[in-house]
Amino acid sequence: MTELLDRCFESVKERVDDFFKTGLVPVTLSLEAVATSSSKKDWVVRYMASLEKCPMYLESVNVLCSEEQRVDVEWSVRDVARVVEKLSCPVAGCVIPCSSLASQRTRELLEKQFPAMYFYGCMRDALWSLVQDIFTDNDATDKECSISVPFTQDFQQFALECKDLEFFLPIQANKINLGETIGSSINVMHVTARRRLSIKEAFTAILQAEPFLDADNVLNQLFLSGSNEASYDESRYPTEIEHLQNQLAKILRNPQFEVKLRKFLDVLRPIYRLLELLGDGTDATSLLISEVHSSFSRLAQQFASSTLLQSEEKETLQQLVRHHQENVLGSAHVLANLLDPVLLGENLPVDTMENAEQKLMSSLRVDGTCLSETDKEALYAQYMDFKKFALNQKTNKAETRDFRTLKERKKSPLQFWFADGAKWPVLQAIACHIFVMPVCAASSTRVISDAGVALHPICQKTSFSADKLVYVRVNTHQLHVAEVAGSSLVTEAQKPQRKSIANDITASMVV
């Protein structure tokens, strides 16, 4: 059995290596730390590598650490470096969890060790950490944020009330499905001495309570006599139903209930909308890496402009957003905003844009060496020419059909640079390197589940043989998915170039 598993593993590994090597762009590494015990001293770190929108499973590593420190920083840096060096293909960078101080220090050290690669935090992880900060107080074990939240207890109590009302939601009400995207769902709040809620349950309960803003409609659907939609047999239990109706009406028509529901929805809905853009936990997302910076800024502005929040509450929420924005952002985000032909850095503060342009001009080759003086001069000239071209499209009536597809996001910046960026070859290589990277870390839990592998056994300490089996099962499935889906860049690569000086961009050419 072991010999058969080894042969299958080597066969699938060879196919995965070929898949990465023949890709038109570099791969992006991501990691996910999963606690395997309630004490959170035992962890499994899972590594994934994504090519465009297809993540592949690499390996799992067992880690023993203290509850306070989680995964040791020095160990993390060494292990990520080990995985990078094992890959026999170009690596654009790595997306790592950003909800702990250890993760931030890990990223800083990796940036020094691999200056040609990009390292930044997972946006999904940051948003869930923001939700956790809203619902849990500063005494919570896993809290890394020191910002005091004045309304935590109100959120917890109201979430519990909404949870108790879930049974009365109209049948046709939209159900909030968060899937496997919440890493902090294992964190439990002790709302009362006998009642507990997970972060996920609390978040979902308030969001799903929105139909209760129209109390009369809900009560009519539940108790209207003779209606096909009535949920109860009034002829059988008239007294009980009348009592239930009166109690529910008393709750829903309480002015304080409506005030709180509107206020808390005003806080949570903008976060949920961003999470919706980030997809279902796979590598697919409708949010671009160039839009991450502006998404956080817009979220802070939404809290600032709310008419339902007090000044202290607004300031607290804005501080939380800025805190998690800093945990996520890396140089790749601001460079992407700068090189997005639709954005052109327009949402960046002046000093941030200046720093981004300096970072762009000091770009390194894929092997970590500096650009030659000739290439630096070419890069500057190409960047200025690109800005002129894109500004002309944005501000004048010279907008082309291709640019409209970019504005409508029917064509991605990566597709633009891959197909139309050959007139700026040095800049094209840098842009392709950046835009291939995803906004979030690939969800190993979701990918493993989609491949039909039972999650419970692999959530325990992973043996070498078990890890090989997971590798074979998951990547056989993922290779099939990749074969069916194909590459979004193949059609772009097959288009005739407009100028004879255009060259095909491959992973080996990326700066």
pLDDT in tens, 450-471: 888 876 555 555 577 888 999 9
For the entire predicted model, the pTM comes to 0.87
Residue 71 has a pLDDT of 60
61 within some domain: yes
Q: Which of 233, 259, 287 is the last residue of a domain?
A: 287
Residue 242 has a pLDDT of 75
Share of the chain above pLDDT 70, in %: 80
* One domain for residues 424 and 450: yes
Residue 493 has a pLDDT of 54
* One domain for residues 345 and 225: no
Residue 229 has a pLDDT of 45
312 within some domain: no
353 within some domain: yes
319 within some domain: no
* One domain for residues 104 and 138: no
Give how many domains the chain has, as a whole number: 2
Task: Give the tens place of pLDDT for each residue, 333-389.
Answer: 999 999 999 999 988 999 999 999 999 999 988 778 898 999 999 999 999 999 999
* One domain for residues 198 and 94: no
* One domain for residues 363 and 274: no
pLDDT band at 501 (very low <50, low <70, confident <90, very high): very low
Residue 508 has a pLDDT of 38
Work out the angle at residue 312's Cα, subtended by the Cα atoms of residues 309 and 314, and round it to the nearest 5 degrees: 50
Q: Mean pLDDT over residues 113-141, rounded? A: 86
297 within some domain: no
Residue 68 has a pLDDT of 47
* Range name among 108-117, 247-256, 337-346 with the lowest pLDDT average: 247-256
Share of the chain above pLDDT 90, in %: 50
Residue 178 has a pLDDT of 67
- Domain hosting residue 57, numbered range: 2-121+330-509
* One domain for residues 8 and 92: yes
What per-residue string of b and e applies to 413-430 under the rule 16 or more CB within 10 Å gives b? bbbbbbbbbbbbbbbbbb
Q: Mean pLDDT over residues 416-438, rounded? A: 94
* One domain for residues 73 and 158: no
pLDDT above 90 (res 103): no
Residue 365 has a pLDDT of 85
Residue 179 has a pLDDT of 58
Q: 115 vs 119, 425, 479, CA distance in Å?
A: 10, 21, 31
Residue 455 has a pLDDT of 63
Residue 453 has a pLDDT of 84
* One domain for residues 403 and 504: yes
Query: Rounded distance, CA 119 to CA 115, Å?
Result: 10
Q: Which of 256, 287, 318 is the last residue of a domain?
A: 287
* One domain for residues 153 and 99: no
Residue 379 has a pLDDT of 96
User: Phi then psi for 29, rounded to 5 degrees?
Assistant: -90, 145
Residue 499 has a pLDDT of 42
* One domain for residues 371 and 499: yes
The three-state DSSP-derived secondary structure of 57-92 is: EEEEEEEECCCCCCCCHHHHHHHHHHHHHHCCCCEE
pLDDT above 90 (res 210): yes
Q: Which of 287, 305, 320 is the last residue of a domain?
A: 287
pLDDT above 60 (res 402): yes
pLDDT above 90 (res 307): yes
pLDDT band at 169 (very low <50, low <70, confident <90, very high): confident
314 within some domain: no
* One domain for residues 474 and 446: yes
* One domain for residues 112 and 140: no
Answer for the pair 198, 189: CB distance below 8 angstroms, yes or no: yes
Q: Average per-residue pLDDT in the chain?
A: 83
Q: Mean pLDDT over residues 165-181, rounded? A: 70
> What residue spans of 209-330 are helical by DSSP H?
215-223, 238-252, 255-277, 292-304, 311-328
464 within some domain: yes
Residue 386 has a pLDDT of 96
Q: Mean pLDDT over residues 469-479, rounded? A: 94
7 within some domain: yes
pLDDT above 80 (res 289): yes
